[in-house]
Structure 1
Amino acid sequence: MLASAGRFATIAAFLLPLAATAPTPTADATAPSKATPLHIRPTPRILPLSALSHIFDHDAQINASSTAQEGGTLVARSMLHSEASLVERDLFGDHPEDEDTTLEKRRLQIRASCLDSTATDATISSLFYYGGQGTTVFLCPGAVISTTNAIFFTAPQQTLTTYGNPTGSTRATIRVTANNQSCAVYGAWPGANNVVLRNIQVDGNRPGLGLLQGGLALLEFGGNTVGQVITQIRAFEPRGWSCLHAAEGDGNQCSSMTISNNAIGPSGHAPSSAQQFRKRDSTGSYGPYNWADGISIACKASSVTGNTVTDATDGAIVIFGALGSNIQGNMVISNDRQLMGGINLVDFNPYGGSFAGTVVQSNTVIANANFIKVGVAVGGLVWGSDNRTASRTYGGTIKNNVFRSGSTGYFGYAIAASGHNSTTIIGNSARQANFGGVESSACFTSLFPLPPRQAFVDNPWTTPGSTLQAGFYKNLAFGFAICLAPGRITVRGSPY
């Protein structure tokens, strides 16, 4: 419903000063991430303010001259046709008392019904852009928002959620629909501190649109920010390399992100016929490099807890150093798609190989009905063949994780360590896991055969200074453990 011209002009008068201070929406050829996959920072689509007039009800009343006071601060409100809140905006915030400056004491709070399926990415990005710091945008339960560009967070403390914060199938869905699009929500805008994405479903639409080579992650967060929160999200079928990327930012600025209680995946596809690995079944036909991560975390001092990652194909949870982070209580499941690594600590960049203070604890990795090559991969030599001392990763703790299998699921190894110094691996259990697989033609079998398939394997010549629990096989120098291909189950259960 449309506001009258005069009333809308009053609303605009409050919003436009904020637009002047908002970040200019232009493309930036300098990627915010220096080591996790590089990309050109995309550009938000911002509508003219007049295009948002349909949001405001014709009964809107701007009570700018009201004598009503709340805590000494004048409140102007535009009430829309329901009590639900589409946008809640504290325009000026709380300021020190100043009898000579009443404008600095005012708050503008715009309230409207939630956005339904007619909304677009441009609508939502524009509300954030004009609303500025503290803006909350509510989507209606059951709404499906078709996007042709990413939705952008552009200021601190912004929130995007489904009204009522449902946790099931009634959560609104944001869907990728453009041929050249892979990112649905972009939160890595510089200074977008403490933004929250919660209680929404995000469909990358890879089955409909296919892989987008070089595409962004489905959810791009982190960057030059602190304190972001992603919780109660269901994200699946990304067209790019990952479902959720928490980028480290310029100079590794990103810190203190919370990624909790999300359902991630499926994500990517295993190749149907390739040296590196092939599909276990015959459904579909996929070439190499179709795989994708579930969660890719480079933001330091972060918390990744209570998430379930199902049917990722590259790494379910990939830790790019992420110094001082806690990866705890997550579940990784392989049902219909093969997985190279459950939880990976293999990347040298962006922290020069350091995993200092990073703890991977009390997670459960389940090869339910498919093949997981390595449950937890520790060191670059597990993922490749670079044996230079200078390229080794180091640090971190892996403890009290559990590995188990369904009747037809199996691992190559539960934990493999190679090319990683000074780590602690203790208290992990693979008693209910199966093991199998064969060396493919991509392996270095004639020179450096892999250890027999079993729970815990270590290349002791490349892991100095490490503390390892009992049960590690240490008799071979090996690398590139993910060269394994599917094969029959040879070991059921483990004494460790």
Structure 2
Amino acid sequence: MNSVSRLSLFLAFLTLGVSVLAAARTALPGDDLQAVLNKGKDLVLQKGAVYEITKTLRYTTKGQKIYTAEAMYPSEYATLRLASKDLMMLISAGGAENAILERVICDGDRYNLSVVPKPRIGGGGQPALVHFGGKGGDGQIVRHCVFINTRTWATLKMHEGASNMLTENNLFFGAGVDPRGNGRDLNEVPFGWADLISCAASDSIIRNNLMIDPTDVGVVLYCAPGTIVENNVVASVSRESLGGINLVDALDYYKIENSENLFDYRGVKVRDNFIDAFGARIHMGIPVGCVVWVPHWRGRITTGGEITGNTITGGAGAYGIVAHGIRDWKIVGNHSTASYSGLAEYGKHPNPPDEPGAFIYDADSVVDCELQPEFVKSKRHIEHLLRTQFAPEDANGYQMHDYGHEEVAAVVNAAYLEMLRRAPTEFEFNNSVELLRSRQRNADGLRRQLMNSKEFRDQHGDMFPADLHPFRVKLWFDICDQLMRENGGMYKVSKLYQDALAALHADTPVNN
């Protein structure tokens, strides 16, 4: 090889090396992150770094990626954290085909920034913390991320207009405030409940995500024909959730052509998920059809989905799978070990709904469906089973509806397990039940009482009451991170969740 050839080869390798280094340059805190995205480059974040975000980060190019360099476990992920009181959306990949978000902590910083003021209504009219999908957003991926402290009605949105999206192997810790005020930032007013995953994208997959403490719904499908929701965990540990996995929305975008009132859930498969009312009520585990949620949508019929192999468990259940206004659905092979005792009726209501139960359907409006034999016909009605609005209000305007026997036991046991890593004594249990039932405390109030105990302070030091939920997020985050390290990374979330509960346990609750 002559000297000219050697020089050419050297320059070629040098150019290749420079281009690789340039492509992989890690952005540092304080850098202009949007400028990187505007150039069409991947945004590579520094391992373990925290980035304060004051303007929504927006993907600009097909196949663009935001990720943490060389990160394997959640504690190594970079954090993108909202840092403006006026900002609600952290990241938008709307319309960016094949965009990827991977190994990043997305933090809405709710308990520092508080929430954006809004009327006394819950949900709607706000952007999600992270917005994916939309027209042109096909093939997007969100995986191995952690979502915490959203300030708005949804944490991760998979918007209609997109297809073939994938959301898998993510951790979600808390979203919004429940009807009793649990999860509340100390400055907010009712009601700021929130979803964890809101999906209207078609032919997509939501798989193996651990979702703890939604307050609106864990996963909600807005028709989303062809979408599969499988092997996820939705657990209410400290806050009530109105729904576990919802199939109640008749989105006009998916109205079946040439039909008067049919909405498309064809190809939807909700299978092998684990829904746990562990320490707070889940009002409906899997509601199916509009009227159980929104009575004024009477006459809208959803068609074509399958619900199979799901498990509903926990001591604080209200209703399990309830079906109304559906056609050509298959609901078979689901299991219930939950206690259903959630109560919400006050005064003399002339037409109360059916008592809580595992599998209930409305015989007149469930047409041409295959139902498992455990289903029972509704005797009165199963319309609008979110029966919270009739309860007496506390000083902050939250509704202190009554607890069922099993429900209140689950709430007390979960509070002691999280805060003191043990079961309550019989005296502590009975005293806590009385505080809850007499409306002197909600579940957050009970936890804050335990935070003020010598036992808690000896373990964790002094802590401000406002730091309850940041403490809880860190507790679950650290446990999951350690378990993932022991198992070489993310594993099946139903096992991860059970392992995390086992890590909390020192004793078995003495009251069940």
Which AA in structure 1 matches 2:127? Answer: L
Output the TM-score relative to the length of structure 1: 0.71
Whether the 8 Å contact between 2:114 and 2:187 is mirrored in structure 1 is no
Task: Decide whether the 8 Å contact of 1:459 with 1:476 is kept in 2.
Answer: no
| Distance (whole Å) between structure 1 residues aligned to residue 46 and residue 370 of structure 2 | 51
CA distance in 1, matches of 2:185, 2:50: 29
Q: Please say if 1:451 is aligned against 2:451.
A: no
SS in 2 for 1:482: coil
Say whether the 8 Å CA contact 2:307–2:330 is kept in structure 1: yes
- Residue in 2 that maps onto 1:415: 321
Match of 1:186 among 92, 102, 120: 92
**Pairing 1:237–2:139 present:** no
Q: Hey, what's the Cα distance between the residues in 2 that align with 1:281 and 1:184?
A: 21
Deviation for aligned residue 1:411: 1.0
1:428-472, CA deviations, whole angstroms, 9 ceiling, x for partnerless residues? 0012x111122345x99413x211111111111121121111111
Deviation of the 1:128 alpha carbon? 1.7
2:175 to 267, 285, 302: 267
CA distance 1:444–1:424, shift in 2 (3 Å) = farther
Q: Which amino acid counterpart does residue 459 of structure 1 have in structure 2? A: D
Structure 1 match to 2:83: 177
For residue 114 of structure 1, what is the aligned residue in structure 2? Answer: 26
Which of residues 403, 409, 422 is equivalent to 1:487?
403
The 5 Å alignment of 1:284-303 reads 287-303=189-205
Which of 370, 374, 380 is the aligned partner of 2:280? Answer: 370
Q: What aligned pairs does 1:56-71 form with structure 2 within 5 A after superposition?
A: 67-68=8-9
> What are the within-5 Å matches in structure 2 for residues 369-448 of structure 1?
369-386=279-296, 388-389=298-299, 391-405=300-314, 409-431=315-337, 433-440=338-345, 445-447=349-351
Residue-by-residue CA offset, 1:377-434 (whole Å, 9 max, x unaligned): 1011111212632x222220001000111xxx41111111122222111000012x11
- 1:366 and 1:285 map into 2 onto residues whose CA distance is 29
- Secondary structure at the aligned position of 2:404 is classed as strand
Q: Secondary structure at the match of 1:487?
A: coil
Q: Which position in structure 2 is the counterpart of 1:211?
A: 115
Are the structure 2 counterparts of residues 159 and 331 from structure 1 closer, same or farther at C-alpha, using a change threshold of 3 Å? same
The residue type paired with residue 255 of structure 1 is S
Larger radius of gyration: 1
State the Cα deviation string for residues 255-280 of structure 1 (Å, max 9, x = none). Answer: 00000000113000013xxxxxx247
Q: Is the 8 A contact 1:279 1:338 kept in 2?
A: no
Paired residue for 1:137? 43
Match of 1:324 in 2: 226
Q: Secondary structure at the match of 1:470?
A: coil
Change (3 A) 1:137 1:324: same
Question: How far is 1:286 from its partner?
Answer: 5.3
Amino acid at match of 1:394: T
The AA in structure 2 aligned to 1:233 is C
The answer (yes or no) to whether the contact 1:77–1:111 under 8 Å persists in 2 is no
Could you tell me whether the CA contact under 8 Å between 1:319 and 1:344 is conserved in 2?
yes
Q: Secondary structure at 1:439's aligned position in 2?
A: coil
Which of 55, 74, 90 pairs up with 1:168?
74
Moved more, 213-222 or 146-155: 213-222
Deviations 1:265-298 (A, max 9, x none): 3000013xxxxxx247999585333000000011
Task: Report the identity percentage.
Answer: 27
Match in the other structure for 1:342: 244
Q: Secondary structure of the equivalent of 1:237?
A: strand
Distance in 2 between residues matched to 1:282 and 1:161, nearest whole Å:
31
Deviations 1:226-281 (A, max 9, x none): 100000110111111101001113xxxx100000000113000013xxxxxx2479
Amino acid at match of 1:395: G
1:481/1:223 Cα in 2 relative to 1: closer, same or farther (>3 Å)?
same
**Residue identity in the other structure for 1:380:** C
Greater helix content: 2
Residue aligned with 2:405, SS? strand
Q: Which secondary structure state, in structure 2, belongs to the residue aligned with residue 208 of structure 1? A: helix
SS in 1 for 2:150: coil
Residue in 2 that maps onto 1:466: 369
CA distance in 1, matches of 2:318, 2:254: 28
Structure 1 residues not aligned, in runs of 5+: 1-65, 80-86, 89-108, 272-277
CA offset at residue 327 of structure 1?
A: 0.3
Change (3 A) 1:416 1:185: same
Counterpart residue number, 1:128? 37
Aligned equivalents of 1:478 and 1:229: distance in 2?
37
One of 271, 274, 280 as aligned partner of 1:361: 271
In 1, the alpha carbon distance for the partners of 2:196 and 2:68 equals 22
The letter of the residue matching 1:435 is: Y
Note the C-alpha offset of 1:477. 3.0
Give a deviation string over 1:348-375, Cα, whole Å, max 9, x none: 1031221110000000001111111001
TM-score (norm 2): 0.68
Aligned to 1:258: 166
- Cα deviation for residue 115 of structure 1 reads 2.2
How many residue pairs align between the two structures?
375
Structure 1 residue aligned with 2:444 = none
Instruction: Return closer, same or farther for 1:153/1:74 CA change in 2, 3 Å cut-off.
Output: farther
- Assess, with a 3 A threshold, how the Cα gap between structure 1 residues 186 and 68 changes in structure 2: closer, same or farther: farther
Aligned to 2:213: 311
Q: Taking CA–CA contacts closer than 8 Å with sequence separation of 6 or more, which of the two structures ends up with the larger relative contact order?
A: 2
Partner of 1:197: 101
Contact 1:195–1:229 (8 Å) recurs in 2: yes
- Structure 1 residues 415, 445: CA separation in 2 closer, same or farther (over 3 Å shift)? farther
Distance 2:324 2:350 in 1: 19
Q: 2: CA distance between counterparts of 1:282 and 1:194?
A: 36
The change in CA–CA distance for 1:74 and 1:157 in structure 2 (over 3 A counts) is farther
Aligned amino acid, residue 264 of structure 1: F
